[in-house]
Structure 1
């Protein structure tokens, strides 16, 4: 799906959240590798599960065409500095829900970009009549968990010892969901 561009000015910085376009594929391919290497909060280490330019073009095409998919980017100073996706299922039994994921370049943390991409996605979810949004978050990512809770998400469960990082330690993953009003 496509949303209208949304402009923000925070702490003297201007950024725009908009739908991803095929021309973004090159930047997204390199940005994904960068972002995976900047924090342990992501599922991947830098370079893992690499998506090339053609792969991103196809992903953007698919997300644009499908009613239950959304792919947004955040643009600051002419560069893509973050992105998020809502991905739904083609299976009828799961067609009422989407899974959300977001990432923002570390040098742009603190400007509310992740929060605004989440809010834009949730607005889209509500407009589409989608009843449930799910996400997974590293259990030690307290800031993200608080953001999700203040946005209406609740913990559905915890995957114990779900991830093993480069330090050899295991980490839990928290599964969260936000339901449409009145649905549980």
Structure 2
């Protein structure tokens, strides 16, 4: 398994990956039919590759994308110090250290880029992800009550954050 920066040529495979992970896991905000097409995926990748305040890494195994992580920083001066994180891994690869490897590499790059704080949102019932985040020093900073509606049930989103050490 290798961790690398995303490439424009990954767009078709990235669409397949996203459709797969959104159908495998109820913990992602996106439904499979809401995943972008290849054209939009290329545009999305281009934004990340041309903006120094963004990070987009993929985990690849056997030539297939099995995980991804993004960090997006803002250009607004009051929040230049922080980035928003998103991560997903194929269900068949859960528990194999891929999330940890992606997180470790992304946090290292974020620190090199000068980010001071990383934030994310996670569904309150996603215990596996919460444990991963806590393992890396993320703490629960807040709660967005009933922020997600799934199958007619409302779930809270936990806001978690981590300060990067100097």
The answer to whether TM tops 0.5 is yes
- Secondary structure of 2:75's match? coil
Give the superposed CA RMSD. 1.2
> Bigger CA drift: 19-28 or 157-166?
157-166
2:16 maps to 1:30: yes
Deviation string, structure 1 residues 75-133 (Cα, Å, up to 9, x no partner): 11111111110011121112111100000111111211111101111111111110110
2:29 alignment partner in structure 1: 43
Aligned residue for 1:47, secondary structure, equals helix
- Structure 2 residue aligned with 1:128: 113
- Which residue number in structure 2 is paired with residue 5 of structure 1? none
Distance 1:26 1:129 in 2: 32
More helix by share: 2
Q: Does 1:104 align with 2:89?
A: yes
**Number of positions where the alignment pairs a residue of Structure 1 with one of Structure 2:** 166
Q: Aligned-pair distance for 1:181?
A: 2.7
How far does residue 46 in structure 1 lie from its aligned partner after superposition? 1.7
TM-score, normalising length from structure 1? 0.86
Match of 1:176 in 2: 160
**How many Å separate the matches in 1 of 2:17 and 2:121?**
21
Cα separation, 1, equivalents of 2:132 and 2:68:
17
Structure 1 runs, 4 residues or longer, greater than 6 Å off: none
SS of equivalent residue, structure 1 residue 75: strand
Specify every segment of 5 or more residues in structure 1 that has no aligned partner in the other structure, as ranges.
1-14
Gaps of 5+ in 2: none
Counterpart Cα distance in 1 of 2:84 and 2:14: 19
In 2, distance between residues paired with 1:51 and 1:95?
A: 28
CA distance in 1, matches of 2:74, 2:104: 21
Q: Distance in 2 between matches of 1:93 and 1:33?
A: 35
Of 32, 38, 57, 1:53 maps to 38
Alpha-carbon distance in structure 2 between the residues aligned to 1:114 and 1:173: 20
